[in-house]
Structure 1
Amino acid sequence: MSSVNTNSGVNLFYGVTRYSLFSPGSNSWKTSSGGVFENSEKYMSYLFSDQRLDIRAEIFIGKALPVLDQMANRHPYKHFVLYSELLPERHRAMLLAAAEKYPFLVPVEWNETVQGTGVEEVKPLIVEDLVKQLGSQGGRHPVIWFRLDDDDVLPADYLDQLEKYRALNHDGFAISFGLGVTAYKGEHELVNLREYYHPKSAQGMAFVTVFDADSSSLSVVRPGPHTRVDKVMPTILDSRERMFFQIRHSDQDSALNHSSYQRATATLAGMEKLPSVRASDLDPAKWPTLMQEIVRGEPSPHRSSMDGEEPVLFSPTTEMTFDLDASIRGGLVEFEFEFESSARLLGGFGIITFHLEGVDGIDPEVLGLRNSTKYGFSRQAWSKNARGVIRHSFILPEGASASSVTLTGKGRRPADVFIRLREPRVVAIHATAPEPDLQSPESV
């Protein structure tokens, strides 16, 4: 009868990370007619830029690895990190030093084209490890491998949750934890915290395979693009708990056809519709390396609770202006308030106007704003719920500033909307100056 080995001393979980891997010929090297990189030199210049690598070192080495270390203390586990011999010496030294600190981390120098996630490249190493541990025992043993990008973080109980699905009858299955958390990275904090429901997300997607100790073989199915994994293999979707943290920033690789400023503004615009989350909504034990920056990134307390004031009664005649610290020229502008009404709202019930300076010639759409003669640079406060949180943010280009924010009532909407306000603010972020082609045609 086939046996399932649960020996706590046997590695039955394997992680795979491509750490800024230079791999010409792979899908990451966008050299088509509509791509970014005309040649490998330009691709390498982008891939190994100081700003891009520093962010990934901070996240992967500083935030992700300590949590993986907690997992490794409870579950036998190895994590393979594919890196290039061309990785700048400072960052290669950091990675190798991390491997000295964390024995579960296995750096693998790889200088050839990588097929997708990198699991096929490290498969021989996994087999070698399993043969060493299980070769004499015989039988079939369920093993789980998972992918982790170098700018994402998993919760401390990730392997605890995966263990539930490590079974022989799940051989060839993918596991997708579809619910997570996301935030935008400032220089010293994580801001714009949101819940992120993303079924078949790449973050922490895992795969069950079986190691046959009698034949020393491991069956690994190439999963293909994560968004279509369920067309390749049966997929277990579990979205009961928040099981990944996607840190968004201006140097992500998912939209290389755009400048860093375009990527940042598009990222923030995409987050607007995600449910807002408070630091108090998260379990600190799940996110031990992130909670300090999450708490630091929270807006100041609500005015009503801070000053002992009653909530504001909002109506179409309401107009409130809040001054900003304009000393930060360039950064993320954030404005947030809670609302509660006796009835569901009907849609747009207010206008948020950002009073900007130094943005002459910049297309308002680049900022993710409208520019009307009545309200100026603005966005709509919109909801069809009776209560919730409205949070708006956008990135100021370098040299621009925001002096104040005005909240104005709009149209025929319920007048019994009570609002609890937080102080608007400008948060310093990594430089994301818009390029000349982002400006309006009249200014070029």
Structure 2
Amino acid sequence: MLFVGHTRFSLFEPNSRAWVSSQLDDSHNEDTYRDELFNEERLVPRVYMFFENSLAQIDRAIRGHEVYHIVSYSPELPDHYKARIEAACREYPWLVPDLQSERVPTITANTLVQNVLAERSGEAGKLIYGSYRLDDDDLLPTNYFDRMAVYTVPENVGMYVSLGLGATAIQHGEEFSVPRSIKQRFFTAGLLSVCRMSEGGRVERPAPYSGHSNADGAAPCIIDSRETGFFWNRHEHQDTSVGLRKKGSIVASKILRENLDRMPIVELNQEFFDLFPTLKDRVLSDGYDNHTSVREDSDTNSFSANFSYPANSFRAIIEMTAQQDVAKNNALFSLDIINETGSTTLTDDQIHILAVNGVHRSADRNIGFFAYLPTVYGTQTTERLISLPHGFKCSSVKLMPWGDTSKVHLVSLKIDII
């Protein structure tokens, strides 16, 4: 069976009415929109989900089906993320890049299907296919195409198919907590249109909807909620969480967890991990709470924080005062880093990967791996995102002055796992 999917990877569309991610403030300014869209804190969870999980899930789900998945992205996307997309397209032959210069798609689902139709003789008017969408931070199960193939038949052309039962959890770097079961009809992840293309390129498809939750108001729908059909990843930097972020990161995380606590707990059994194998050993039990215990050492004007579970990414919120002649990087974070095997002994290649990502190793054993904290004159509260490459985690962190330690006074430190 033929399926064509589409993911918009942080697509920059300043003329679109869907400026959801730009609504963190009320300026409706294009520069604000761009900065928020490509903010590292917003992109880091998506990069991990899409490149390390979503693509691998789709690859396992193909199982004999003919699948093409378009990933649309913008020239404005930072170069290192564009390189990740290009590398992924080389790794997965079914992944089709769509770099939208001038906001115009370079390839569409219709074009792909026309190409397939041209290669097949005697199928004019009989090419039935499924068209689906997938956000860059959600997952489809390994049996997705098998389940949808049952409904992708001539009798259902012009209908939507929704897998209405899903799982959801809160992302913390490369791990997930508060796993819950959720019924969400017409959820965006995997919502399928049953289509037919004739030899002349005419396409029969369901009537378009205004908002995916209104799909049944546009066309007949099939709903199958017999088993888990999607994984809805939750984190405060989702576009749908903009309202929460206005309340501040700590409050947003608390509200997000309270919302999930009202839902039934999902069973983390073998059946679940057969559907979502990339999440194996990454979904934490319901009692999980990755908190930090921050200690102040007034004698050295430093702060230390131990994580209850090693974290791939965290945000540090620092209050400090600096003198007028302070240096550019007059403070730093000392990081205790482990690799994917849990070892603190890293190879030269691993050390190089960290350095490329802004985390260096000091010759001073008391510092070890470190990342600078920019310092400027005055009293301020600032934030610093520490995001380690895939396969690395931090178990503890120490914030300390660096260089002329008399130039900086550290007042407080808070850690927020993301």
Q: TM-score range by the shorter chain?
A: 0.5 to 0.7
Aligned to 1:209: 195
Aligned to 1:288: 277
Aligned to 2:3: 13
**1:253–1:36 Cα change, 3 Å:** farther
Please, which of 307, 326, 330 is the counterpart of residue 293 of structure 2?
Answer: 326
**1:135–1:25 Cα change, 3 Å:** farther
> Any idea what SS the aligned residue of 2:240 has?
coil
2: CA distance, partners of 1:29 / 1:244: 25
Deviation at 1:38, TM superposition (A): 2.5
1: CA distance, partners of 2:270 / 2:143: 17
| TM-score of the superposed pair, with normalisation by structure 2 | 0.65
RMSD (Å) for aligned C-alpha atoms: 3.1
Deviation at 1:264, TM superposition (A): 3.0
> Any idea what SS the aligned residue of 2:274 has?
coil
Which one is further off, 14-23 or 262-271?
A: 262-271
Aligned to 2:181: 195
Please, which of 27, 39, 45 is the counterpart of residue 35 of structure 2?
Answer: 45
> Any idea what SS the aligned residue of 2:269 has?
helix
> Any idea what SS the aligned residue of 2:255 has?
helix
Q: Any conservation in 1 of the 2:293–2:306 contact (CA below 8 Å)?
A: no
Q: Any conservation in 2 of the 1:18–1:82 contact (CA below 8 Å)?
A: yes
**1:249–1:331 Cα change, 3 Å:** farther
Deviation at 1:292, TM superposition (A): 1.8
* Structure 2 unaligned blocks of 5 or more: 295-303, 310-382, 384-414
Does residue 127 of structure 2 align to residue 141 of structure 1?
Answer: yes
Deviation readout 1:150-207 (Å, 9 max, x if unpaired): 0001110000100010111111100111101001111342111110111121121111
Q: Any conservation in 2 of the 1:176–1:206 contact (CA below 8 Å)?
A: yes
Aligned to 2:142: 156
> Any idea what SS the aligned residue of 1:192 has?
strand
Aligned to 1:244: 230
Deviation readout 1:118-137 (Å, 9 max, x if unpaired): 9x972442343233333653
Q: Any conservation in 1 of the 2:209–2:217 contact (CA below 8 Å)?
A: no
2: CA distance, partners of 1:274 / 1:109: 39
Deviation readout 1:1-27 (Å, 9 max, x if unpaired): xxxxx6xxxxx1011111100011223
Q: Any conservation in 1 of the 2:9–2:71 contact (CA below 8 Å)?
A: yes
Aligned to 2:92: 102
Q: Any conservation in 1 of the 2:244–2:252 contact (CA below 8 Å)?
A: yes
Aligned to 1:80: 70
Deviation at 1:85, TM superposition (A): 1.0
Please, which of 199, 203, 207 is the counterpart of residue 218 of structure 1?
Answer: 203
> Any idea what SS the aligned residue of 1:184 has?
strand
Aligned to 1:392: none
Q: Any conservation in 2 of the 1:29–1:37 contact (CA below 8 Å)?
A: no
Q: Any conservation in 2 of the 1:332–1:428 contact (CA below 8 Å)?
A: no
Letter in 1 for 2:204: S
Does residue 255 of structure 2 align to residue 266 of structure 1?
Answer: yes
Aligned to 2:17: 27
Q: Any conservation in 1 of the 2:7–2:134 contact (CA below 8 Å)?
A: yes
2: CA distance, partners of 1:254 / 1:182: 14
Letter in 1 for 2:293: A
1: CA distance, partners of 2:292 / 2:41: 27
Deviation readout 1:299-347 (Å, 9 max, x if unpaired): 579xxxxxxxxxxxxxxxxxxxxxx9735969899xxxxxxxxxxxxxx
Aligned to 1:429: 417
Aligned to 1:319: none
1:414-425 equivalences in 2 (<5 Å)? none
* Structure 1 unaligned blocks of 5 or more: 1-5, 7-11, 302-323, 334-397, 399-426, 431-444
Q: Any conservation in 2 of the 1:141–1:168 contact (CA below 8 Å)?
A: no
Q: Any conservation in 1 of the 2:164–2:186 contact (CA below 8 Å)?
A: yes
Does residue 264 of structure 2 align to residue 279 of structure 1?
Answer: no
